[in-house]
Amino acid sequence: MLKGTEWPGVICAIMAGALWGSIFVVPEMLPGFTAAEVALGRYLVYGMASVLVLACRSEVLRWLHWRDYLTVFLLGLSGNVVFYLLVVTGVELAGAELAALFSGVVPVTLTVAGNRRDRCLIWRQLVLPLGLILAGLGMMHGCKMQHVLHCESEQILWGMLVLVLGVACWTWYALKNAEFILSRPELRTSHLVALTGLGTLAGVLVTAPILYFTGHGPWALLATEHTSSEWMLFAAAMLFLGLLATWIPMALWNRAGRLLPVTLMGQLVVMESIFGLLYALLLQGRWPDLNELLAVSLLAAGVVLCVRRYQQARLMASCDNRATA
């Protein structure tokens, strides 16, 4: 069974997924703004909030080595700015359906990579949970793939390549972030989130000028005029995304990272997709259809089964330790 300290980690990861799920529906309320504007606005707010936190605790910056600064810069750049821009590019080349499907594969890649590093479970114990998650993702997105069939094959291949890079990017981020969290136990969760936000802000400041002068389509910045009311709505949405959909869930996720292995956390990333679908249904004002119900059921079953098998593995390890004592 899970240890008493691990259940709070599961709850924190689920709450993080619930907040992250909102990032799929908030941009739909801002149809006049490009994906790059939404992404950089979100991470700008996250970065500025992180600067304020670190300004109040400036001694944290003196605890770090130059390698730590390089790590947080790479974490913020890869896990936030670069990942989102790769997803946006994948949407443009191969369609939103294929991009959503590839992004949904992150829990599988993270679980496999985490278990390869930590070996929390034997591989055959992961086959059924991961199979259920892949089946759920296929049911959730497979019926919406008609758009992909009408794209040029070369364009789809380039889009798939970009999306594979995005999945690899976030998988690396999650593994490196977990490693950094465990390597600096003296840092509080808020400090870790703020440091990653500082790296994210640096990534935004590097990326924004490039996109301003060279970006087009979903990568364009400030290419369209907006009314003052539209800018006010945009500012409110960015505050929500930067604080409630980024800062707080990252704090919850980092807290879970101190309590759970990456293998188990990889499964819990699926909660983001589940809550994203729930919020989309609420926004559309409809009940889920049978396909969506089955998809969510398969995703949830995969997560529950993985947690259950992790509990069994912990129990067996505990019994073995007692027998050899």
Which amino acid belongs to residue 190? Answer: S
Query: What is the DSSP annotation of 108-137?
Result: HHHHHHHHHHH--S-HHHHHHHHHHHHHHH
**Model confidence over 161-177: pLDDT tens digits?**
888 888 888 889 888 88
Which amino acid belongs to residue 145? Answer: M
Identify the sign of the CA torsion 262, 266, 268, 269.
Answer: positive
Helix (H) or strand (E) holding 29: none
Query: What is the DSSP annotation of 124-183?
Result: HHHHHHHHHHHHHHHHHHHTTTHHHHTS-HHHHHHHHHHHHHHHHHHHHHHHHHHHHHHH
Query: What is the DSSP annotation of 219-287?
Result: G--S-S---HHHHHHHHHHHHIIIIIIIIHHHHHHHHHHHHS-HHHHHHHTHHHHHHHHHHHHHHHT--
Q: Which residue has the tokens 């790479």?
A: 74
CB count in 10 Å sphere of residue 2 = 18
Pick from 243, 252, 145: nearest CA to 189: 252
Tens of pLDDT along the chain (325 residues) come to 455 567 788 889 899 989 988 887 887 788 888 888 888 999 999 999 999 988 887 777 777 777 888 888 888 888 888 887 787 777 667 665 666 667 777 878 888 887 787 777 777 888 888 888 888 877 776 655 555 555 556 777 787 788 888 888 888 988 888 888 888 887 788 888 888 888 889 889 988 999 888 877 777 888 888 889 999 999 999 999 999 999 999 999 888 888 888 777 877 888 887 888 788 788 778 888 888 788 888 888 888 887 777 777 665 655 445 445 4
What pLDDT is recorded for position 323?
A: 45
Pick from 254, 256, 243: nearest CA to 193: 254
> By the 8 A CB rule, do 12 and 256 touch?
yes
Collapsed DSSP state (helix, strand, coil) of residue 149: helix
- Give residue limits of the domains in the chain: 6-324
The C-alpha atoms of residue 37 and residue 237 are separated, in whole angstroms, by: 12
What pLDDT is recorded for position 50?
A: 92
The C-alpha atoms of residue 275 and residue 272 are separated, in whole angstroms, by: 5
What pLDDT is recorded for position 105?
A: 79
Number of separate helices (H) and strands (E) present in the chain:
16, 0
Pick from 306, 235, 325: nearest CA to 266: 306
What pLDDT is recorded for position 98?
A: 66
> By the 8 A CB rule, do 57 and 176 touch?
no
**Model confidence over 80-109: pLDDT tens digits?**
888 877 877 776 676 656 666 677 778 788
Which amino acid belongs to residue 174? Answer: A
The C-alpha atoms of residue 269 and residue 201 are separated, in whole angstroms, by: 24
Q: Which residue has the tokens 């790590």?
A: 71
User: Would you say how long the chain is, in residues?
Assistant: 325
